Amino acid sequence: MKLSLETLTIAAARQAIQQKAITARALAEGYYTRIAAADETIGAFLSLSRERAFAQADRIDQLAQRGDPLPPLAGVPMGIKDVLMTRGLVTTAGSKILENFIAPYDATAVARLEQAGAVMLGKLNCDEFAMGSSNENSAYRPVRNPRDTTRVPGGSSGGSAAAVAAGFAVATLGTDTGGSIRQPAAFCGVVGLCPTYGRVSRYGLIAFASSLDHVGPLTRTVRDSAILLGVIAGRDPLDSTSSDVPVPDYTAALAQDVKGLRIGVAEEYFGEGLDPEIAAAIEQVIERLRARGCEIVRISLPHTKYAIPTYYIVATAEASANLARFDGARYGHRACNAATLGEMYRRSRDEGFGPEVKRRIMLGTYALSAGYYDAYYLKAQRVRTLLTRDFQQTFTRVDAVIAPTTPTPAFKLGEKSNDPLAMYLSDIFTVTANLTGIPGISVPAAAGGNTRAGPPIGVQVLGRHFDEVTVLRVAQAIEQDRG
């Protein structure tokens, strides 16, 4: 059996190993060969974990040789975004301040993947502390989009999306704080799933904004995302924010037809700033869903225009609090030859953090400061409640919402580096899911899935809290109809 590493799915990889058409070790070696040949250009991986990967692959091969039942992800080569703890491996969060930090334990999501048989190839590049929309903020090197290496892959999970798009892994884990799984998935032409807040444990995630952070998969197909979500979802006693909600069989649910589902289309997502080609592609997706028997309902989410300012107050405030722990005293980079403790703190943070992280810390500290807390942070939380109510009311009328994932296709490297506001507006369609905690997925759009210039177009499906089943069903219908 000849396998195409660029198109291999989870089910196909597992089946090939079970049928002894290939060994898990040989499969891992095949991906390492691809990484060695092409990742110098792409920049998806920050480090490789060959010893750990081959040890896991050998365990899977022993099971296969004995004819024992194989776990659901047996031998599937994966990569992990470098903001998730991986025991014994350098875990940097894309920052110089953690350049030599060795993680003492595994994040729960990582542990669950390995328990299910996944083979961890290495740690994936990302914007520093997951702060960015282009993966140009990594302290080590930018990531390039495999579809067009002159363009960004999106961020902050740019390495995770690029690794799947380039055929460096079957699937990857990313994190999504304001669109950081869905936006790079759209830019790279892959599938990116942001589950409901609390559906997947955040234990072992280096926090950016604790009330907004989600852990989720990036894959080649919707079915693969469903498989991975089934593995990593569920209550975790180590994370008090993880929800004790039953985890359904997501892959079985994909067999259900979408006929009769009510699909909402919000006027606020189709206004000024949306690329005409993206708007046309989303309209074609909507018409194909209508042809499948879905009822298309025009809706309004009136507080959407406040989403970006609300997000960048809440997210920076939480970042300011979370990143206070990186002071050079306990772990991470420490400045040398400081005369006083205060100087050591200041110099360690100045030397260790990059410009975007410093910008967000300062913005967040200002929003939380005496005299400004009520005017900024408290008001932002009130608007966040209004955004949540918009969706709660909408989901009494519809089963899912269709929207663009991004306002434009992937932009050129360096195009927005000196314009933070333009960069922040890249997240205009994705931040609402994080502010409200609802699930969302980005899949390559119909009508060819690409712009005339080449970069892919992503379409986003949003759903009710803990209703990933419906989100995945609609996403698969879009995937199946893709021209």
Query: In a 10 Å sphere around its CB, with 0-12 CB exposed, 13-18 middle and 19+ buried, how is residue 384 labelled?
Result: buried
Max alpha carbon distance in the chain (Å)? 71
Helix axis angle, 10-18 relative to 24-42, nearest 10°?
Answer: 140
SS3 state of residue 284: helix
Angle at 315 between CA 193 and CA 215, to 5 degrees: 25
Residue 94's DSSP bridge partners are none
Q: How many helices (H) and strands (E) does the chain have?
A: 16, 11
d(CA 441, CA 412): 24
The active-site residue, picked from 81, 133, 138, 320, is 81
**Which helix (H) or strand (E) element contains residue 173?**
strand 171-176
The CA-CA-CA angle for residues 465, 398, 384, to 5°, reads 50
- Residue among 393, 380, 391 nearest 209 (CA): 380
Q: Please state, as a whole number, how many other Cβ atoms lie within 10 Å of the Cβ of residue 358.
A: 14
Told to judge if 156 belongs to the known catalytic residues of this protein, a careful annotator would answer yes
Distance CA 137, CA 160 (A): 15
Helix (H, G, I), strand (E, B) or coil at 239: coil
Contact 58, 144 (CB under 8 A): no
Distances (CA, A) of 242 to 59, 112, 160, 251: 30, 15, 23, 22
| 81 given a catalytic annotation | yes
Distance CA 402, CA 283 (A): 10
Evaluate whether 5 touches 31 at the Cβ level (below 8 Å): yes
Under a CB-based contact definition with an 8 Å cutoff, are residues 295 and 261 in contact? yes
Amino acid at 353: F
Torsion angles phi and psi, residue 105, rounded to 5 = -155, 170
**Which among 49, 134, 180, 442 is annotated as catalytic?**
180
Which residues pair with residue 296 across a beta bridge? 263
CB neighbourhood size of 343 (10 A): 12
Q: Which of the following is catalytic: 95, 134, 138, 156?
A: 156
Who's near 308: CB < 8 A, 6+ residues apart? 424, 425, 427, 428, 431
Question: Quick one: tokens of 206?
Answer: 């280096």
d(C-alpha 249, C-alpha 233), whole Å = 11
Q: Catalytic annotation on 180?
A: yes
Omega into 4 within 30° of 0, i.e. cis?
no
| Residues designated as active site | 81, 156, 180
